Structure 1
Amino acid sequence: MKSIQHGVLLRKLNYSETSLILNFFTLENGFQAYIFQGGKKKKGNMLQALSLVEITAYRREDSELGKITEINSLYNPQSIPYHPIKSGLAFFITEVLAQVLKSSDQDESMFAFLEHEIKWLDNSEEYTNYPLWFLLKLANQIGIGIHVADPNGAIFDLQDGVIANQTPSSHLFVNDETVALLIELLNSDKNEFLALSIHRLLRSQITDHLIDYFKLHINGFKTPKSMAVMQTIFE
């Protein structure tokens, strides 16, 4: 059956000398996988991390892998593919999203969130704290947002996703100097959040805690391979 969908590119894998396997999060059907024969030659330059595209494809009822016949850009990024920091950040984001959304169905709110953030990132120069912003907002989008039960709390309960002052019985918690900063971040609007001056070691620690949080709440979630690169970039 033929369909036209609007998607965010999450993963690109080589299938042959000329073809690709592509994973998208689509507006119409959530996570989708396709083979794009000849894709390297036809649209190779367009298919970058976080590309927003329109996909024309066929899918047999007995197959989970559709076949793309045409793909066109919905948004032409001006900086993400060419800016070394933004392109690295885009790769990190797609690694996270590919794991979080790998079995997701249609979610118009999630697609709108991703579309907005992609365009924002492409046009902004405030991106040092952006990995933290994105992880926290993504957690909200998928229903595992962190709740500040006590504004003076010193303990981040990883199991329940709550910041308070009670030590949880599970022993899955954080109790260090990052918790106060995490509270401040959760209570900041986007501009305040991104403008905060955060020491690189604290930023790295919070990122590690959030990745651990995702591991606990997302089945099969693993540390993105680009984590080390990201932390080096933002030193």
Structure 2
Amino acid sequence: MQVQTSAIVISSLKYGDNGLIIRCYTQNSGIESFILKNAFSGRNKKSSVFLILNQIKIIYDQKKNSNLNYLKEADAEIYYQSIYSNPIKTTITLFLGEILNSVLQEEETNLSLYQFLSSGLNEFDSNRTNYADFHLWFLINLTRFLGFFPNYSENYQFFDLTNGVSTHDFSSGFVIEKEELILFKNLIDLDFNAEETSKFNQIQRKKLLEIIIRYYELHISDFRRPKSLEVLYSVFE
């Protein structure tokens, strides 16, 4: 059966001399993997279409009981203006792509998640000055769709990362308090689209990212600490 859908590129791996294996989050059916032949040869080179987190339109042959479908056509659906021309944005994009490749597994339609990914990337691309906090906002709000958005409440001394709830019990697991708790609350309350300036400085940003990575590690059993994390830290130094 031939299928046409919008998709967001999550990963791209060279296959043989001229082929690509591409993993996408599709609008129609969630995570799908594809093989594309002759991606690097001839006049119809398509490798640039499959940059990480590109938004594309694809046509493919869907086979029953197969985890790898053949792409017939693929073209850009959204043309980014700054994501791949701004080195900081590019680094953030590659980092988020690595996270998404690790955490997105469902092979079913989730239009709300697709819309979150698409609209977030579009806002990130169009924001010319205030984008340094985007990855923090993106990751904390992604947990809404992964099932462990923080259940934060005022007037509690600690936040328990293991159980995802505010608490008075310091011994309940991995907890944050004081300055870290204030930063975490400010991140939960952050409206990236409404902020005119970055809310966090370099030190706060790094501290928050470590908290978020630990939070993901505690809630996703096979979560892998991103290899691109240190590169991301370096671009903000």
User: Would the TM-score normalized by the shorter structure come out above 0.5?
Assistant: yes
Q: Which residue among 145, 150, 164 is the counterpart of 1:146?
A: 150
Q: Provide the C-alpha distance between the structure 2 equivalents of 1:19 and 1:89, rounded to a whole number of angstroms.
A: 26
Query: Residue 58 of structure 2 aligns with which residue?
Result: 55
Query: Residue 15 of structure 1 aligns with which residue?
Result: 15
Number of residue-to-residue matches in the alignment: 233
Query: Residue 161 of structure 2 aligns with which residue?
Result: 158
Matches within 5 A, 1:52-131: 52-125=55-128, 126-131=130-135
Contact 2:6 2:57 in 1 (8 A): yes
Contact 2:7 2:55 in 1 (8 A): yes
Q: Provide the C-alpha distance between the structure 1 equivalents of 2:147 and 2:38, rounded to a whole number of angstroms.
A: 38
TM-score, normalised on structure 1?
0.92
Q: Provide the C-alpha distance between the structure 1 equivalents of 2:8 and 2:196, rounded to a whole number of angstroms.
A: 24
Which amino acid in the other structure matches residue 38 of structure 1? N
Q: Which residue among 184, 187, 202 is the counterpart of 1:185?
A: 187
Query: Residue 200 of structure 1 aligns with which residue?
Result: 202
Contact 1:58 1:68 in 2 (8 A): yes
Which amino acid in the other structure matches residue 19 of structure 2? S
Which secondary structure state, in structure 2, belongs to the residue aligned with residue 24 of structure 1?
A: strand
Deviation of 1:203 (Å): 1.5
Q: Provide the C-alpha distance between the structure 2 equivalents of 1:209 and 1:78, rounded to a whole number of angstroms.
A: 31
Contact 1:157 1:168 in 2 (8 A): no
Q: Does 1:25 align with 2:30?
A: no
Q: CA-to-partner distance for each residue in 1:67-120, whole Å, 9 max, x for gaps?
A: 001101111111111211111111011111111112342100000111101111
Q: Provide the C-alpha distance between the structure 1 equivalents of 2:186 and 2:221, rounded to a whole number of angstroms.
A: 28
Q: Provide the C-alpha distance between the structure 1 equivalents of 2:107 and 2:179, rounded to a whole number of angstroms.
A: 35
Deviation of 1:176 (Å): 5.1
Which amino acid in the other structure matches residue 71 of structure 2? I
Contact 1:12 1:20 in 2 (8 A): yes
Higher mean Cα deviation, 106-115 or 61-70? 61-70
Which amino acid in the other structure matches residue 93 of structure 1? L
Which secondary structure state, in structure 1, belongs to the residue aligned with residue 138 of structure 2?
A: helix
For structure 1, which runs of at least 5 residues remain unmatched after alignment?
none
Higher mean Cα deviation, 92-101 or 184-193? 184-193
Which secondary structure state, in structure 1, belongs to the residue aligned with residue 223 of structure 2?
A: coil
Which amino acid in the other structure matches residue 153 of structure 1? Y
For structure 2, which runs of at least 5 residues remain unmatched after alignment?
none
Change (3 A) 1:192 1:28: closer
Query: Residue 34 of structure 2 aligns with which residue?
Result: 34
Query: Residue 136 of structure 1 aligns with which residue?
Result: 140
Query: Residue 227 of structure 1 aligns with which residue?
Result: 229
Runs of 4+ with >4 A deviation: 191-194
Higher mean Cα deviation, 2-11 or 181-190? 181-190
Contact 1:7 1:27 in 2 (8 A): yes
Contact 1:129 1:193 in 2 (8 A): no
Q: Provide the C-alpha distance between the structure 2 equivalents of 1:118 and 1:199, rounded to a whole number of angstroms.
A: 22
**% identical aligned pairs:** 27
